[in-house]
């Protein structure tokens, strides 16, 4: 049991830490509203930083050299991500492309046309988005109804995608379509990539209940793309989906934000009788529960790193991590507001503690239990993949997709 890097890892960490310190953008020069993720100022600063990463060989550390990567190990990639998180750097713009989509693209469609997309993505010049979910294909992620039909050497795509993170800023997208509705659900899918400026692609931001508009709907109407932009075999798109999900699993993120220290500070700042809300035994009891869950989340990352350090695939602890983190987030926000009493209603950067961070968390924590695999799907994954329990009885198994019962 130890948390220490081995000699090689320690040397690598020291090296990349120096590099990050020397190259990280100075956000303090930006206006406060421009320091936020997705603000133009933040995006431009991170783009410049990403370019420097690409030049130094840190953009795709664990990619093989023939793809333009550094040919490094997963643990090196994870160490770099840790050091970036510790330095307060957040670059969500490039993650979808570099961590999830492009590796799958290269795995299934390694040709000159796709290779040409790698350099610009590594330098942060081109941003990618995922065009997977649909109004009737959420947890049922193979229930794709967007169609692609062949027309000479081209494909014509029609349909609607939804919950596409950052699609309004994206240059390219990976889209999953149905090419054969006579085949069972998972069998008739085909993956493509396309430019987001292709005629017929329309992006409409969705305002979430938290007030932000990072998510989008994407409408695809008579979108014509060449067959060269097909990823993998016709009707074998599900394999591409699986590749992207596997890539997502190996990606390591830092978990910053509100946690037990903020709760201690908050409770200590609220007067209650002779003392503060921190003296309330019921709150202290709650805080103990929060702490063990927050610790588990922190420590599970070390379990994943241990696996990567050994050159192994991360174990099942990752699927527990999301459930722990999302439940903790929502519970923390609710408790913080409750501590504040009626004052907790106030969502005003001037009046609310931490500029309203607890109120923001209260709102967006409802979403993180849904995005990236709902609580219910995560539990199915644990039950089936980890515990080995059988899948539910399914009425869509072996049935042609077009004959599967569906709602509106």
Which is nearer to another protein, 338 or 384 (by Cβ)?
384
Identify any residues that bridge with 191 across adjacent strands, giving them in sequence order. Answer: 176, 231
Token representation of residue 119: 């350099």
- By CB under 8 A, residue 5 contacts another protein: yes
Q: How far is CA 166 from CA 4, 205, 245, 283, 381, in A?
A: 37, 9, 18, 38, 27
- By CB under 8 A, residue 3 contacts another protein: yes
User: Of 122-130, 156-164, 242-250, 286-294, which segment contacts another protein by CB under 8 A?
Assistant: 286-294
Question: Is the Cα torsion angle 165, 169, 172, 176 positive or negative in sign?
Answer: positive
- By CB under 8 A, residue 287 contacts another protein: yes
Which is nearer to another protein, 219 or 260 (by Cβ)?
260
Q: How far is CA 287 from CA 111, 329, 336, in A?
A: 54, 13, 11
- Nearest approach in angstroms of CB 135 to another protein is 23
Which is nearer to another protein, 347 or 375 (by Cβ)?
375
Give the DSSP H/E element, type plus range, for residue 341. none
Which is nearer to another protein, 13 or 51 (by Cβ)?
13
Give the residue among 84, 98, 105 at the shortest CA–CA distance from 126: 98
Give the DSSP H/E element, type plus range, for residue 205. strand 201-205
- By CB under 8 A, residue 300 contacts another protein: yes
- By CB under 8 A, residue 62 contacts another protein: no
- By CB under 8 A, residue 288 contacts another protein: yes
CB atoms within 10 A of CB 242: 12
- Nearest approach in angstroms of CB 206 to another protein is 29
- By CB under 8 A, residue 293 contacts another protein: yes
- By CB under 8 A, residue 306 contacts another protein: yes
Q: Kindly tell me which residue out of 296, 357, 370, 399 binds another protein, with binding defined by CB under 8 A.
A: 296
Looking only at residues 369 through 398 of this chain, which bind another protein when binding is defined by CB under 8 A?
376, 378-380, 382-384, 386-393
Which is nearer to another protein, 5 or 107 (by Cβ)?
5
Give the DSSP H/E element, type plus range, for residue 130. strand 128-131
Tell me, letter by letter, the H, E, C secondary structure of 73-109. Answer: CHHHHHHHHHHHHHCCCCCHHHHHHHHHHHHHHHHHC
- By CB under 8 A, residue 249 contacts another protein: no
> Is the CB of residue 137 less than 8 Å from the CB of residue 143?
yes
Binding site for another protein (CB under 8 A): 1-6, 9, 75, 260-261, 264, 278, 281, 284-285, 287-289, 291-293, 295-296, 299-300, 302-303, 305-306, 309-310, 316-317, 320, 323-324, 376, 378-380, 382-384, 386-393
């Amino acid at each position: 049991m130890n948390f220490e890097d081995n000699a090689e890892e320690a040397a690598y960490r020291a090296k990349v830490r120096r590099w990050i310190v020397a190259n990280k953008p100075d956000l303090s020069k930006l206006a406060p509203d421009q320091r936020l993720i997705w603000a133009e100022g933040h995006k431009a600063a991170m783009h410049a930083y990403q370019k420097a990463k690409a030049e130094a060989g840190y953009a795709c550390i664990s990619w093989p050299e023939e793809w333009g990567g550094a040919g490094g190990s997963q643990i090196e990639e994870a160490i770099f991500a840790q050091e970036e998180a510790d330095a307060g750097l957040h670059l969500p713009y490039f993650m979808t492309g570099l961590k999830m989509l492009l590796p799958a693209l290269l795995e299934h469609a390694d040709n000159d046309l796709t290779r040409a997309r790698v350099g610009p993505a590594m330098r942060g010049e081109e941003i990618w988005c995922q065009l997977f979910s649909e109004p009737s294909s959420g947890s049922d992620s193979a229930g794709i109804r967007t169609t692609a039909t062949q027309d000479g050497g081209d494909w014509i795509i029609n349909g609607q995608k939804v919950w596409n993170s950052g699609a309004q800023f994206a240059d390219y997208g990976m889209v999953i379509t149905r090419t054969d509705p006579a085949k069972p659900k998972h069998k008739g899918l085909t993956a493509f990539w396309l430019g987001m400026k292709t005629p017929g692609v329309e992006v409409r931001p969705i305002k979430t209940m938290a007030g932000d508009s990072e998510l989008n709907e994407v409408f695809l109407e008579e979108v014509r793309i060449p067959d060269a932009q097909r990823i993998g075999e016709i009707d074998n798109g599900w394999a591409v989906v699986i590749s992207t999900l596997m890539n997502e699993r190996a990606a390591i993120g830092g978990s910053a934000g509100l946690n037990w220290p903020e709760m201690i500070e908050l409770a200590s700042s609220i007067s209650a009788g002779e003392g503060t809300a921190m003296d309330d035994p019921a709150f202290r009891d709650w805080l103990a529960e929060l702490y063990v869950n927050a610790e588990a989340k922190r420590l599970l990352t070390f379990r994943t790193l241990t696996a990567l350090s050994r050159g192994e695939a991360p174990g099942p602890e990752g699927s527990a991590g999301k459930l722990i983190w999302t439940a903790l987030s929502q519970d923390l926000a609710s408790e913080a507001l409750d501590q504040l009493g009626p004052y907790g209603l106030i969502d005003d950067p001037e009046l609310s503690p931490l500029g309203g961070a607890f109120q923001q968390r209260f709102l967006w924590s409802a979403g993180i239990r849904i995005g990236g695999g709902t609580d219910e799907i995560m539990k199915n994954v644990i039950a089936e993949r980890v515990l080995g329990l059988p899948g539910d009885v399914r009425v869509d198994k072996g049935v042609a997709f077009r004959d599967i019962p569906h709602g509106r």
